[in-house]
Amino acid sequence: MSAPLTTRARAKVNLTLRVHGRRTDGYHELESLVAFAGIGDALSLQPGPDLALTIGGPQGAGLPVDDANLILRAARTLAAEVAGLRSGRFHLIKRLPVASGIGGGSADAAAALRLLARLNGLPPDDPRLYRSAAQIGADVPVCLDSRTRIMAGIGERLGPPLTLPPLFALLVNPGVPVETAAVFTALGLQAGQAAPGAGSPALAPSETTAGLIAALAESGNDLEAPAREVAPVVGTVLAALCALPGCRLARMSGSGATCFAIFDDCRASAAAGRALARLQPGWWVKATLLR
């Protein structure tokens, strides 16, 4: 038996998120500066005749192992694009909270596509991978190579990879799943309606950490206010982050409830994480580097 193929499914963090409006087909037009954390899930693929999935890890309890899981959906979607696609048994070690705004399921689906591409000799930029990713979910295309870039439209338009200065971050989730659809409903845009400020210019990333933090502070996440309506604990998390010594910026990622804070260095972010974990032992708290 050949050795399994392995990859990481890194957490996606929306440093900024602007909603430009809602299209007539009901989808929302977004623009987001997306970075990736040094933490994530782990996915392996044991080549074999039957497609299957098993799940373990601290966040894996209760997750579906049928076609409701994005990993298997990714495999079946790519199989429709690539005749004779080889697959096998996936095993996911789930470390990221579910329904948490950091793309856990999307990152897992993108990881599955990467493993299937390796198994079948597909190049990383094969357009069939991106077509499959776009069919699975809005965050899956940007998670395919997990590199910092601007994501726009409904996730299908990706800017070139960007190199950011180091961002020492603390990711925090209060253990409350937040459904994306509920947040967009609370946003309240009607089909065909533009959002206020939709024509404002995009963020221009800075080459220095201080400059980038200043630029980020001038932007925001348009889903934060509706997410607070759906899950008021988001406001509690943000207040706790802002109160930590050395916090330079605190913001929600995606549609929540995971929030992040930026610090000057890894020592400050690690110390803040230890302090917050003592105050809130039930929260998921991870210090990491965003890049």
Q: What is the dihedral angle through the alpha carbons of 283, 286, 287, 290, rounded to the nearest 10 degrees?
A: -120
Task: Determine whether 139 is an active site residue.
Answer: yes
21-100-170 Cα angle (round to 5) = 105
Query: Do 177 and 188 touch, CB atoms closer than 8 A?
Result: no
* Cα dihedral 42, 47, 51, 53 sign: negative
> Which tokens belong to 31?
């623009």
Catalytic residue among 12, 41, 222, 286: 12
Catalytic residue among 41, 94, 108, 139: 139
How many other β-carbons are positioned within 10 Å of the β-carbon of residue 62?
7
Q: Which residues make beta-bridge pairs with 29?
A: 21
Task: Determine whether 12 is an active site residue.
Answer: yes
Residues annotated as catalytic (active site), given as ranges: 12, 139
